[in-house]
Amino acid sequence: MAVSFNNDIMPIFNQFRGQMMWRFDLTNYEHVKANARIINNRLANAAIFGPMPPPPFDPLTPEQIQLFSQWIDEGCQP
Ligand code: HEM
């Protein structure tokens, strides 16, 4: 089954929504889809740009980052 925003991605982002509202709504499908490349680039290159979410939060796991990348590859399914 394809990765789904509502089932798979949104639950990962939900707890960080408030802290990123200045830029986009991480729980809003259209916002995340429109910024998917920017978000993926940031998540995939934490060593260069710094982890997101930043300390003291635990960074996303490699599996969660991979899931987001797969969601893009599969065409950003709702
Ligand atoms: C999984 C959760 C998160 C994702 C996917 C995310 C994503 C991003 C992205 C893509 C940017 C760059 C935006 C741009 O270049 O226009 C960014 C910047 C930023 N985020 Fe987040 N964010 C998350 C959680 C958080 C949390 C919890 C905080 C709380 C402090 C936070 C604070 C910031 C700040 C201060 C910036 C601007 C400075 C910088 O780029 O380091 N983010 N975030």
- Comparing C-alpha atoms, which of 78, 74, 42 is closest to residue 60? 42
Question: For ligand 1, is residue 39 a contact (CB within 6 Å)?
Answer: yes
- Sort residue 61 into left (φ over 0), alpha (ψ -120 to 50) or beta: beta
Q: Please report the pLDDT score of residue 19 as a whole number.
A: 98
- For residues 44 and 69, is the Cβ–Cβ distance under 8 A? yes
Kindly state if the Cβ of 18 falls inside 6 Å of ligand 1: no
**Domains of the chain, residue spans:** 5-73
Cβ of 20 less than 6 Å from ligand 1:
yes
Whether the CA torsion 74, 48, 58, 23 is positive or negative: it is negative
What is residue 7's predicted lDDT score, i.e. its pLDDT? 98
Closest CA to ligand 1's atom 9 = 39
* pLDDT tens-digit profile, the chain (78 residues): 899 999 999 999 999 999 999 999 999 999 999 999 999 999 999 999 999 999 999 999 999 999 999 999 999 999
